[in-house]
Structure 1
Amino acid sequence: MNSMQVWRRCGATALAILTLAACAKPVTAAEPATFQIHIKPVTGSKPQADALEVRWTLDLPAGSDFDLTAPITYAGVEGVADRIESLSARDGSGPITFTIRDDPPHPGGFPHFRHWTAERPVSGEVEVAYVARARSPGGRGGPPFDLRASGGGLSGAGSGFLLLPRGAATSRSHLSWDLADLPGGSGARTTFGDGDVQIDGPPSRLMQGWYMAGPFGHYEGAGDSAGFNAAWLGRAPFDAAAEMAWAADAYAYLGEAFGYLDPVPPYRVFMRFVDGAPCGGGTALGASFMYARCALAEGETAPSPRETLIHEMVHMWVGGIEGPQGVTSWFTEGLTTHYTRLMMLRGGLDSVDAYGAHINNSAQALYGLAAQDMTAQEIVAVGFADGDIRHIPYHRGAFYFADLDARIREQSGGTRTLDTVLRPMFEGRQAGEIFDHAAWITLVSAEIGPAAQAEFEARILRGEAFAPHPNAFGPCFARRDKTYEIEGRGPVDRYEWVRLTDVPDDLCRNW
């Protein structure tokens, strides 16, 4: 899953996913930050760190209004604001008291916030301090934004623990750490850099990064993989260092294959292995992502999550499209799903048979679901309450793009592909051009004709079933009719894909 945030490059609009680490600088005395935030992991009465003490200061003009905000629920992660304790604030005139107001909840678990509004104007340096508790096991699952304890440390996204000033317009933040309560050898690593860093942009940028502090294992890329690194807390059920070396090579391949981010931005992987659900999933934020799973018992093993690793890294290049919250998943997740399996095939990162299995897994996840024809708006309303329904746009979108690729190839006599159509769009979006649903319709209509808009609205927005082009998945796989037995709905006639064994693997990989 990719963040719903529209990324911005150090203040300049850019819809392409860009490295937030590139907007961070090592702290120097010559570059003081207006917004200064200090984080200390604490253990309390437990041997394991279970909270963060957060303190920050902000300079404001005399007579300023002052508002704080933190998520109540953030992308399915519940109770973030409820885990903020011991809040205190003061300026030169003394303590600041607040009136608290909650946004109405979103039915699908999308972000809504709690607001603390100061009961008087404030002036000069304002200091805020609070404690953010780690989430205990239990409750609804979702992306790993929540603050969780594992392996002697803590990890999560800024959206999982930060209480920030609303609308603050400072252009730089100074993040510092105190690791005194953590085990020896502990470190602090974020999307923005290691240890104490300066981060360009307003305080709200801090929400869109991963944070990890503790005695984490780590991998540092070298040579062609320089700039790629990884950190993990808890016992990985696979050889973490070896798999991160594989991921570093895969990231270098993706940079070459997509081509339009040159040089390829540095990239950071975070992994955590926690005791007690919810604990699964992966989510990208900027040039980084978090992979989370439940810790296994000593001696138990599990396969590496290679498809997840590629999926989250592919988000760097696929990026996003502007549109209503949640409705854009057909692009951000559907196109990423399409390119995840295609890049694994082309790059020799997976077998041809595995590619076919991924296609049919998508077919089962979509065609075997009673809710397969829900509209995009209906899916948003369900949101994080049902993982199967929330993932419909991943599979629906991937089939839409595979079908489109085959049709572009057919209509152009093989001179154009989805790759060649998207490359100029990616480059224009990175340069700041608006890319929304209207721009998409214009783009695709130029390739397949005026019916493109009606097809998009029917297939993507209204959820109407369609038969992907017979060559949607290349020359090695044939579409075949299949009946799916669906509990509560009965049989539904849809499709599966079968390997044509007389076509060599090399031809399959060149699609």
Structure 2
Amino acid sequence: MDRAKTARVGIGPASLLAVLLTILAVFAPGTRARAEPGGPSIDAILTPEFGAADEPAIGVTLRLSAPGLAPGAALLRMPVTLVGTPTAAYPAAAIAASDDAGPLILTASDEAPTSSGTHRNYLTARATAGPVTVRYRTEPRKVGPETRNGPLFDWRREGDGMMGAGVYFFAVPPGQATHRIRLTWNLPAGMRGVSSRGEGEQQWEGAGESLAFSFYAAGPVQSIPADGRGDFVFYWLKAPPFDPAVLGAGTERLYHSMAAFFGESGLSYRVFARSNPYPSGGGTALARSFMFGYGNGGQTGATGTDMLVAHEMAHTWPTMTGDHPLTAWYTEGAAEYYSVLLSLRAGTIDHARFLSLINRKAEGYYTGTYRALSNAEAGKLFWKDPRAQRVPYERGFLYLARLDGQIRARSRGKRSVDNLVLDVLARQRKGEIVGVPEWRGLVVAELGQSAGREFDAMVAGKLIPPPRQAFAPCYRLVPATLTRFELGFSDTRPDLVKDLRANTAAARAGLREGDAIVKMTPLAGVRDNPSAEMAMEVRRGDESVSVRFLPRSEPAAGWQWQRVAGVPDSACKL
């Protein structure tokens, strides 16, 4: 079955779940009903347009097999906005529809907004007669330095081509009915058309929205392997500020290791890379694919491009049914946990890097502004405050690390948290629903009622007890006084002080909301150095102002891991 995901939110077949820098469209693991012979089908044709002077565009033609709709029924549906990201949001007049009875007039009707966005339905003015053909087109979204970073759900110009998600430009039949889907491309000579499914023509069975929740690239697409063949392919349109061959090789190695661990060896996976015109990066995972954006200075994330990709690839497997605020500790926490653990097992990172990564996650948890909020309370702030977005990542990671240590100790190394996570996945593949109550039952069965009480405390935002048994015998936990990087304002605008937070070093140094940034110390130079100061020159009206401050939070008590001397790597068994 199709699973679509974003590093930060899940969309399931039954409900929209909101979620870090992103929302995940997640079709819960299981077996999708196969399309009935003679059942509904969608023939989708994409026509990229590359004018010499005009902005490029993407044209869409859909041929729908006899939808048999009554007057006023929804023929198509698409988001207007999805977790803050706008789409093409076609007016009804921009969609040409016809059937055996001639032109088919559509009217647009927007649904009530939800926490994840707003959707638009395109309703028929009369009953449909036979197969229906619809056509529409859009130019890419225009973005610039002021564009807010978020899920990679838009469609952008990238170099001499276009790249993004189908969410931006696809209006598709609504609902979860299984269709036979065929995707083809009408391409100019010398151009390539690729999607999450592969290059060129692709066929599959799924809901209409599986077209939307896929990534696409059109134009002079480059790839590794160059011919695009194989079960792992990495695509880009502009020369990136990193070596794609090196990143691609490491990512492919990790993907095969992850797929084997989660029991899905042999299935394909595709990675897309694109640039951002602002100093922020991030990633979004969809159906067996992942797209990441890098900032105009090459930024992707605090832990590096390889770990961003590892996190998003891990999202391919661990999921949980339920509203996002209540399940993100698992979807995001498991992606955090397995991105580092499976990278170590695959040999794509060494123990020194592993130690640095797990300590960064622990530091984020203990110094978190919203550490004491419950999962539900943090979820309410998720799209209002970026600091709330980190709660499920670090909380989930530390909870799973502690649980793993407890299980290994209780079973004398015969079992681990891997057994529980793989059990959840096996149940989901059989069509079972696994949510928060089912997980609680699993940990109680494994460790007793005390594990249930610990889980309840984690959900309520209580401090997770120090995971002293985690990552033993190679690592031990020691108390530490910690600070986290705290710029004090949004890092999405390289030219402007925006969303300045009170009671931060930046505010105390004299920065003001709306100050124009003339120059500042590169973030890469201060983010990982607790003693490095930020130096800034800003313009305030006709005045030039210089400020210096230490971009760190107030100290907090916490814990960090240390490598145990004398224990060889071979004894780690992580």
**Structure 2 match to 1:212:** 217
Q: Choose which of 464, 467, 474 in structure 1 pairs with 2:465.
A: 467
Q: Matched residues in 2 for 1:249 and 1:168: separation?
A: 34
Contact 1:237 1:295 in 2 (8 A): no
1:113 aligned partner = 119
Does structure 2 conserve the Cα–Cα contact (< 8 Å) formed by 1:67 and 1:166? yes
Does residue 248 (structure 1) correspond to residue 311 (structure 2)? The answer is: no
Q: Does 1:35 align with 2:33?
A: no
CA shift, 1:370, in A, is 1.7
Q: How does 1:281-300 map to 2 (within 5 A)?
A: 281-296=282-297
Q: Is this contact kept in 2: 1:83–1:134, CA < 8 A?
A: no
How far residue 95 of structure 1 moved from its aligned partner, in angstroms, is: 3.3
Q: Does 1:271 align with 2:270?
A: no
- Flag the 1:479–1:367 CA change in 2: closer, same or farther, 3 A: same
> Over the residues paired in the alignment, what is the CA RMSD in angstroms?
3.3
Shift of 1:33: 8.0
Taking a change above 3 Å as real, the CA distance of residues 98 and 125 of structure 1, as seen in their structure-2 partners, is: same
- Decide whether aligned partners of structure 1 residues 326 and 102 sit closer, same or farther in structure 2, where only a CA change above 3 A counts: farther
1:206 aligned partner, one-letter code: L
Q: How far apart in 1 are the matches of 2:285 and 2:30? A: 9
Provide the rounded CA distance (Å) in 2 between the counterparts of 1:14 and 1:104. 22
TM-score by length of 2: 0.76
- Show CA shifts across 1:334-356 (max 9, x none): 01101111122233221222112
Aligned counterparts, 1:94-493, within 5 A: 94-107=102-115, 110-137=116-143, 138-167=146-175, 169=177, 171-180=179-188, 185-220=190-225, 226-256=230-260, 258=261, 260-261=263-264, 263-274=265-276, 276-277=277-278, 280-296=281-297, 305-317=305-317, 319-459=318-458, 461-484=459-482, 488=503, 493=556
Q: Distance in 1 between matches of 2:246 and 2:94?
A: 43
State the one-letter code of the partner of 2:275. F
Letter in 1 for 2:250: W
Is the CA contact (8 Å cut-off) linking 1:333 and 1:397 kept in structure 2? Answer: yes
The separation in 1 between residues aligned to 2:147 and 2:90, in whole angstroms, is 14
Q: Distance in 2 between matches of 1:366 and 1:304?
A: 19
Aligned length: 482
Aligned residue in 2 for 1:73: 81
Q: Does 1:54 align with 2:53?
A: no
**SS state at 2:130 partner:** strand
In structure 1, stretches of 5+ residues that fail to align are 25-30
Give the partner amino acid of 1:255.
A
Of the structure 1 ranges 382-391 and 349-358, higher mean CA displacement relative to structure 2 is found in 382-391
Distance 1:474 1:76 in 2: 42
Q: CA separation in 2, counterparts of 1:143 and 1:190?
A: 17
**Which residue identity is paired with 2:440?**
I
Q: Which structure has greater strand proportion? A: 1
Q: Matches of 1:340 and 1:457 in 2, distance apart?
A: 25
SS of the equivalent of 1:328 reads helix
Change in CA separation of 1:238 and 1:85 when aligned onto 2, cut-off 3 Å: farther
> What per-residue deviation string (whole Å, max 9, x for no partner) do you get for residues 354-412 of structure 1?
11211222133232232222222223222334333112101100000000011111222
2:537 maps to: none
Q: Matched residues in 2 for 1:443 and 1:152: separation?
A: 51
Change (3 A) 1:356 1:163: same
**2:481–2:556: 8 Å Cα contact kept in structure 1?**
yes
Q: Which moved more, 1:148-157 or 1:446-455?
A: 446-455
Letter in 1 for 2:402: D
> Structure 1: how far apart are the matches of 2:421 and 2:176?
36
- Note if contact 1:365-1:388 (Cα within 8 Å) is conserved in structure 2: no
**TM-superposed deviation, 1:508:** 6.4
SS in 1 for 2:275: strand
Residue 212 of structure 2 aligns with an amino acid whose one-letter code is M
Equivalent residues of 2:311, 2:339 under 8 A apart: yes
| Deviation sequence 1:412-469 (CA, Å, 0-9, x none) | 233221123333332232222221112111111011211333322221x322212232
CA shift for structure 1 position 303: 10
Q: What do residues 278-320 of structure 1 show as CA deviations (whole Å, max 9, x unaligned)? A: 86211221221112113559xxxx9971112222222233x21
Letter in 2 for 1:413: R
Q: Taking structure 1 as reference, are residues 134 and 350 closer, same or farther at Cα in structure 2, changes over 3 Å only?
A: same
Bigger RCO of structures 1 and 2 (CA < 8 A, at least 6 apart): 1
Q: After TM superposition, give the deviation of residue 82 of structure 1 in Å.
A: 6.1
**Which residue in the other structure is 2:567 paired with?**
504
Moved more, 206-215 or 84-93: 84-93
Conserved 8 A contact 1:141-1:279:
yes
User: 8 Å contact 2:474–2:572 — kept in the other structure?
Assistant: no
How far apart, CA to CA, are the structure 1 residues paired with 2:279 and 2:138? Answer: 19
SS at match of 1:130: strand
Does the CA-based 8 Å contact 2:44-2:181 persist in structure 1? yes
SS in 1 for 2:95: strand
1:353, 1:499 within 8 Å by CA — same for their partners in 2?
no
Q: Are the aligned partners of 1:55 and 1:129 in contact in 2 as well (CA < 8 Å)?
A: yes
Letter in 2 for 1:36: D
Give the secondary structure class of the aligned counterpart of 1:384: coil
SS in 2 for 1:373: coil
Amino acid at match of 2:474: C
Kindly provide the amino acid, as one letter, of the partner of residue 131 in structure 1: R
8 Å Cα contact 2:87/2:169 also seen in 1: no
Structure 2: 5+ residue runs without aligned partners?
A: 1-6, 15-25, 485-501, 505-552
User: Which residue identity is paired with 2:369?
Assistant: A
Q: Rate the CA distance shift 1:295–1:370 in 2: closer, same or farther, 3 A.
A: closer
Letter in 2 for 1:209: S
1:213 offset after TM fit, Å? 1.0
Q: Distance in 2 between matches of 1:366 and 1:373?
A: 10
Determine the C-alpha separation between the residues in 1 that align with 2:400 and 2:252: 27
